[in-house]
Amino acid sequence: MKTHPYLPTGVEAIEAEMLKELGLKTIEELFTDIPNEVKFKGKLNIPGPYSELEVKRMIAKLLEKNVSSMDIPVFLGAGVWPHYVPAVVDAIVGRLEFATSYTPYQAEVSQGILQAQFEYQSMICELTGMDVANASMYDWATSLGEAALMASRITKKTEVVIPYFIHPERKAVLKLMIEPVGMKAIEVNQSKDTGEINLEDLKNKISKNTAAVYIENPSYLGFLEEKAKEVGEIAHENEALYIVGVDPTSLGLLKAPGDYGADIVVGEGQPLGNSMNYGGPLLGIFACKEEFARQMPGRIIGLTTTKKQNQRAFCMALQTREQYIRREKATSSICTNEALCAVAAAVYLSLLGPKGLKRLGEIIMIKSSYAMKKLKEIAGIKAPLFKAVHFKEFTVNFDETGKTALEVHKKLLKEGVHGGKIIKEEFPELGETMLYCVTEVHLKEDIDKLSNSLKKVLEA
């Protein structure tokens, strides 16, 4: 191979000089410690090498086959949501001093990312009403799993009560993570009418084995859980912890879960300055009360001082919980987390500030309410199915139109609009239903196009 731009020692003369230092003649001698029986003798079947120009064109051509939410209006949410990412966010997370650094094991040369992550943790605490947040988990689903494991460590109990209308992926990940250690998830009923948790059923399902009660607010199907405080009280009366899952864009407007009794808050931070990217990377939010800090999973950044000049400084805190020190007794196996996504969230929240975040929540509610009201006018459509206040997402039911959700979806695509997620298989009792999402990125003309296209599709 000729020299390669990323391989600076791969020049014959330099290589020869370095080999000589080692008393070797050929590169192959560097691999004599690999026994012949396990040596790979073929050539890897990988195309290339291509030049930068070629690779750029090849991948752009492939991506061109995708149709994005910039090409047509898309009304999907369900765990990843379309939001505008301010240009400042990209400018900062694109800074290569951040992007090309690693876990800040050497705090003295890593004050930048440490402080940015401390600020992220601090902002998450303000949003959720918790004292401590970690520097990130992989996503909401794995945060929930870790929260259940943590609750079990604290309470020494083995069951977690979850709502019936939960995101099926979140439920699946939770079960995967808790079952190997002998825990189980128990579902509590929710009203088909209003979506609310059935408090009587909760009282029946909660027991001396319950480590935690979990709710989502706003819920997976978009409705708000009005009796959130009562749910927490029932959890605490039974000496269980209270875990609340959140969409952080709602928290400028909605009460912090800490103010209605939550002990642990989890959620998805993707909407805070991170693009959808076909579902990843995401940003798992994880926060809790101070008294539980030592049982937390993941990396936590703390404020401290320097030893000589006693100046303010930042470093990783409570590391004795972490896998590289505590090994099989660690609170979690997480090492690489989603640090840069957390920095994006800190920048995003700094830009919006308290008033901007509140306005974001209001705008989302105005636009989603407008959309629900426009769709409700169409004969046969119910939007939403639940008699409750909704945030960002809502159910749209087509039972009375005589068409299936799939038929409507396919025809809508032909009109150049992408509807919501079909949830018929997840919750069959809800019938021909889809979950729609409306945020600040949907202009009035997008929502009107949706309603006009739906009208056309249903009349045809």
Partner 1 sequence: MSFRQAKWSEPLIFERSKPGKIGFTLPEPTEEEKKIAGNVAEAIPKSLLRENLVELPEVSEVEVVRHYIRLSQQNYGVDLGVYPLGSCTMKYTPKITDVIVNNHKLRDLHPYQDEEFAQGILQILYELSNYFAEILGMDKVSLQPSAGAHGEYVGVMIIRAYHALNKELDKRTDIIVPDSAHGTNPANTTMAGFKTVVVPSAEDGTVDLKALKAIAGEHTAGFMLTNPNTLGVFERNVAEIAEIIHNAGGLVYYDGANLNAILGKARPGDMGFDIAHINTHKTFSTPHGGGGPGAGPVGVKKELEKFLPVPTVEYNGEKYYLDYNKPYSIGKVRGFYGNIAVLVRGYAYLLLMGAEGLERVAELSVLNANYVARKVLKAKGYTLPYKPENLRKHEAVVSAKQMMDETGVRALNVSKRLLDLGVHAPTNYFPLIVPEALMIEPTETESKESLDELINAFIKVSEEAYSNPKVVLDAPVNTTVDMVDDVKASHPKTMRLSWRMLKKHGETK
Q: Is 316 in the site for partner 1 (CB under 8 A)?
A: yes
Distances (CA, A) of 65 to 32, 55, 60, 62, 167: 46, 16, 9, 6, 29
Residue with Cβ nearer partner 1 (34 or 239): 34
**How far apart are CB 18 and partner 1 at their closest, in Å?**
5
CA distance 267 to 177: 17
φ/ψ of 318, rounded to 5, equals 50, 40
φ/ψ of 237, rounded to 5, equals -60, -30
Stretch of residues binding partner 1 (CB under 8 A), selected from 57-65, 187-195, 202-210, 231-239: 57-65
Q: Is 330 in the site for partner 1 (CB under 8 A)?
A: yes
Site map (CB under 8 A) of partner 1, residues 60-89, x = contact: x-xxxxxxxxx---x-x-xxx-x-x-x-x-
Q: Do strands 159-163 and 184-188 pair parallel, antiparallel, or not at all (unpaired)? A: parallel
Question: Binder to partner 1 among 155, 194, 224, 431 (CB under 8 A)?
Answer: 224
Question: Binder to partner 1 among 150, 244, 352, 450 (CB under 8 A)?
Answer: 352
Question: Binder to partner 1 among 12, 328, 429, 459 (CB under 8 A)?
Answer: 328
End-to-end CA distance of the chain: 62
- Give the total residue count for the chain: 460
101-120 binders of partner 1 (CB under 8 A): 101-113, 115-119
18-47 binders of partner 1 (CB under 8 A): 18-19, 21-22, 27, 30-35, 37-40, 43-47
Q: Is 406 in the site for partner 1 (CB under 8 A)?
A: no
Residue with Cβ nearer partner 1 (115 or 198): 115
Residue with Cβ nearer partner 1 (82 or 163): 82
Whether 215 and 195 have beta carbons less than 8 Å apart is answered as no
160-199 binders of partner 1 (CB under 8 A): 167, 169-170, 172-173, 175-177, 180-182
SS3 label, residue 325: helix
DSSP letter assigned to residue 292: G
- Our measurement of the distance from residue 162's CA atom to the centroid of its chain's CA atoms, rounded to an integer in Å, reads 19
**Residue 302, C-beta contacts closer than 8 angstroms, at least 6 positions apart:** 118, 314, 315, 316, 317, 318
Question: Binder to partner 1 among 99, 200, 380, 416 (CB under 8 A)?
Answer: 99
Residue with Cβ nearer partner 1 (17 or 193): 17
Taken in order 175, 178, 183, 189, the sign of the CA dihedral is negative
Site map (CB under 8 A) of partner 1, residues 118-137, x = contact: xx-xxx-xxx---xxx-xx-
Site map (CB under 8 A) of partner 1, residues 233-272, x = contact: ------------------xxxxxx---x-------x----
Question: Binder to partner 1 among 12, 208, 336, 429 (CB under 8 A)?
Answer: 336
CA distance 183 to 157: 8
Q: Is 290 in the site for partner 1 (CB under 8 A)?
A: yes
- Our measurement of the distance from residue 354's CA atom to the centroid of its chain's CA atoms, rounded to an integer in Å, reads 22
Residue type, 236: H
Q: How many chain residues are in contact with partner 1, going by CB under 8 A?
A: 214
Q: Do strands 241-246 and 393-397 pair parallel, antiparallel, or not at all (unpaired)? A: unpaired
Q: What is the largest CA-CA distance in the chain?
A: 84
Residue with Cβ nearer partner 1 (19 or 186): 19
**How far apart are CB 346 and partner 1 at their closest, in Å?**
8
**Element (DSSP H or E) covering residue 317:** strand 312-317
Q: Is 369 in the site for partner 1 (CB under 8 A)?
A: yes
Q: Is 424 in the site for partner 1 (CB under 8 A)?
A: no
Question: Binder to partner 1 among 193, 207, 237, 303 (CB under 8 A)?
Answer: 303
